[in-house]
Amino acid sequence: MEAVLHTEKHEHNEAHGHSESFIRKYIFSTDHKMIAKQFMFTAIIFLFIGGAFALFIRWQLAYPGEPIPVIGQMLPSTWVNDAGAVTAEWYTQLLTMHGSIMIFAVIIPLLVGTFGNFAIPLMIGADDMAFPFLNMVSFWLFPVAGILMMGGFFMEGGMAAAGWTAYPPLSAIASMGQTLWIVALFLIGFSSILGGVNYVTTILNMRAPGMKMFDLPMTVWAVFITAIIITIGTPVLASALAMLFMDNFLHTSFFQPENLIVPTRDMSRTAGGGQPLLWQHLFWFYSHPAVYIMILPGMGVVSDILATFSRKPLYGYKAMVFAIIAIAFLGIVVWGHHMFQSGMNPLLGTTFMVSTMVIAVPSAIKTFNWLGTMWRGQMQFTTPMLNAVAFVSMFVVGGLSGIFMASTPVDVFIHDTYFIVGHIHYVLFGGSLFAVFAGLHYWFPKMTGRMYDERIGKWHFWITFVTFNGTFFPMHILGVGGMMRRIFDPTVYDFLKPFQPMNEFITINAMILGFAQFLLVYNLVYSWFKGRKAKRNPWRANTLEWQAPSPPPHGNFDRALHVYHGPYEYSSPLTVQDYLPQTTSPEEIEEQRRHHEQRLQQKNEQDTHA
């Protein structure tokens, strides 16, 4: 509340951007571009932490009980046994933290935090967010929460170990690490809501003169709809977390029936009468839309990049916008498809199956429109384009494997198997992370004023693309074979033993995939300082951010903007060049053409003279 009041003051102050102290500029900055960079750096650090966790998990699955090479002996004794192999306790913590970190501290901050913050004001021609102070608060809640989440490491019982879904009673009877996890998630939720409020207000209120809603680039549309989902969905998770916190910390029993037999915890105070499924409903009411929070901005970024590098208008712009809106709306009413086998009323199973099947339609529309965008284009395969192209292809796989889950009888078999793990990684890694890579390279010149290294970018892309498929595609097969998710040692089961070579194959790919990400970091860091200087509009793109200097100063634009066109007027027959910035007025177009014709005439005359 107070924050809202403060921010209005800041807006007035910051119009005169005088030199600021180091702390105001780099740490407690209210500049949306700096906040975007802060989100990016923090999230990339978490990306490596979460990725390292994943590699430990993979090692254990491929070589159960064998010591971790090189560093096994160095890890603390609460994590590994004497030989240096992962223990079952640490394994469950690893998988919980891998999921939580990757979702809440990597993908959402990268897509929503970084791209939302960086792109929105620049793409709508505003000088900053509507509430810059709120924006800063929203960022600072995030690293605090991230550290808190991992703070369980210092506690007895270790980090949270109930899976990222934290189903009670398991999470309600767990140790201190779980309590910290709940608090951390609550903070992250609050941070998301503040961000969401800010984005919605900014997009509705601060568009440059002449810019209608249907002149917004897809990135902005996608983040706008995402922000709406965030504001609608996240608070429900927050309330569920509050109740889980009460159960966990104060021994209430929202989610716990009477007389649970738990040797590790004093249950005498817990009255009972709760309903474990209630958590699942509340949780998925947020967390299913959260999947769309994690993919919609990616879709927006990819739409922009595909259009730019195909030099073509985005195919079916309005259909794309309505598809996003449809996904958002339907996304909130399909949460029950995570619960077909949970013991909920089978009638609800039918209801949610139908709504889930319907939600596949807008995703199909988007895919076809992307194809349409490339049709008869003039494609240039730069690093952002390669990543965007990969996004579409991987998203198709993720979408198709989703149909298996929508169908209730099939879902009952593949639920909680590696099929789900494969599916979610095709959507969140193949989808979201490829979109992140695409966006990072695409906006790198604008963000830093320098070009990234195209050669390293392409190497990074190809290695990632190949090993990504090598890692996650076989997981579908494991799932079809029935291998349970979150299992510590698959060799316990006879029917899973034949899959061990496949597990090894996955792990080898995952290792390469993990280490290939250092290429990305190297490219970003090196180019940031040593890269070639970037021009104002290196991609010859239409949207407004390319009208600002690279990098944009505090306050963003150095001239007044007026928007005349939609964002995707590439290769228009009206213009000489193959792009038409949104700010170019009809008079300017006319003048350019006259100029061009004159030049042609002169050239013709010269030719005839010669």
Partner 1 sequence: MSTLATTHTQTNTGIYHGKLGMWVFLASEIMFFTGFFGAFIVLRNLNIEVFTASAHQLDKVVATINTAVLITSSLTMALSHLALERGNEAKFRLFLTITIICAFGFLGIKTYEYASKFSHDIYPWTNNFFATYFTMTGFHALHVIGGLIPMIWMLGKSMVKGYPQSMHHRVETLGLYWHFVDLVWIFLFPTLYLIF
Partner 2 sequence: MLDWLPENVSVFGEGVDHLFSLIYYISVVIFFLVNAIYIAFIIRYRRKRKGDKAYHYHGNNLLEISWTALPFALFLFLAFYSDGIWEDIRYSEKTPNPDLVVEVMGQTYLWHFRYPGSDGIFGRRDRKFITTTNPFGVDPDDPNGRDDFTTINNMNIPVNKTVLVRLSSMDVIHSFFLPNMRVKQDAVPGQWVDVWFNSRKTGEFEIACAELCGSGHYLMRGVMTVQAQQNFDTWIDEQYSNVLASLAPPATSNE
Partner 3 sequence: MASGVSFEQIQKSYLKVFIALMVLTALTVAVTTIHFGDFMNIVVGVLIAIGKSALVIWIFMHLKFDNPRLRYFVFVPALFFVVFVFALTVLGL
Q: Residues 157, 175: contact at Cβ < 8 Å?
A: yes
Q: Tokens 């004093």 identify what position?
A: 266
The item of partner 1, partner 2, partner 3, none sharing an interface with residue 408, based on CB under 5 to 8 Å by kind, is: partner 2
Two structure tokens written together for 113 = 């935090």
By CB under 8 A, residue 169 contacts partner 1: no
Binding at 539: pick from partner 1, partner 2, partner 3, none (beta carbon under 5-8 Å per type): none
The one segment of 37-45, 390-398, 494-502, 553-561 that binds partner 1 by CB under 8 A: 553-561
Restricted to residues 255-274, the positions that interact with partner 1 (CB under 8 A) are: 269-271, 273-274
Distance CA 581, CA 563 (A): 9
Q: Which does 131 bind (CB under 5 to 8 A by kind): partner 3, partner 1, partner 2, none?
A: partner 1
Q: Which stretch binds partner 3 (CB under 8 A): 34-42, 101-109, 129-137, 342-350?
A: 342-350
Q: Which is nearer to partner 2, 280 or 527 (CB)?
A: 280
| Least distance CB 240 / partner 1 (angstroms) | 6
Task: Give me 478's structure tokens.
Answer: 């494991």
Q: Is 358 in the site for partner 3 (CB under 8 A)?
A: no
Q: Determine if 250 is a binding residue for partner 1 (CB under 8 A).
A: yes
- Whose Cβ is closer to partner 3: residue 328's or residue 389's? 328
State in angstroms the smallest separation of the CB of 269 from partner 1: 5
Q: Which of residues 42-101 bind partner 2 (CB under 8 A)?
A: 87-89, 91-92, 95
Considering only residues 468 through 497, tell me which ones interact with partner 1, judged by CB under 8 A.
Answer: none
338 binds partner 3 (CB under 8 A): no
| Interface with partner 3: number of residues (CB under 8 A) | 15
* Residues 120 and 222: beta-carbon distance below 8 Å: no
To the nearest 10°, report the CA torsion of 484, 486, 492, 494.
10
230 binds partner 3 (CB under 8 A): no
* Cα separation, 30 vs 36, whole angstroms: 10
Tokens of 155: 């506690």
Sole window of 272-280, 470-478, 507-515, 597-605 interacting with partner 3 (rule: CB under 8 A): 272-280
Binding partner 3 (rule: CB under 8 A), the pick from 278, 400, 502, 519 is 278
**Which of residues 388, 561, 563, 580 is near partner 1 by CB under 8 A?**
561
Q: Please, which residue, 279 or 315, has the CB nearer to partner 3?
A: 279
Per-position b or e across 209-220, b if 16+ CB within 10 A of its CB:
eebeeebbbbbb
Tokens standing for residue 447: 């963000």
Distance (Å, rounded) from C-alpha 478 to C-alpha 392?
Answer: 24
Q: Residue 537: left (phi > 0), alpha (psi -120 to 50), or beta?
A: beta
Assign residue 268 a region (left: φ > 0; alpha: ψ between -120 and 50; beta: otherwise). alpha
Among 75, 144, 155, 232, binds partner 1 (CB under 8 A): 232
Q: Which residues contact 345 (CB under 8 A, 6 or more apart)?
A: none
Q: How far apart are CA 322 and CA 350, in angstroms?
A: 26
Token pair of 125, please?
């021609």
In the complex, the residues that contact partner 3 under the rule CB under 8 A are 232, 236, 275, 277-278, 281, 285, 332-333, 336, 344-345, 347-348, 351
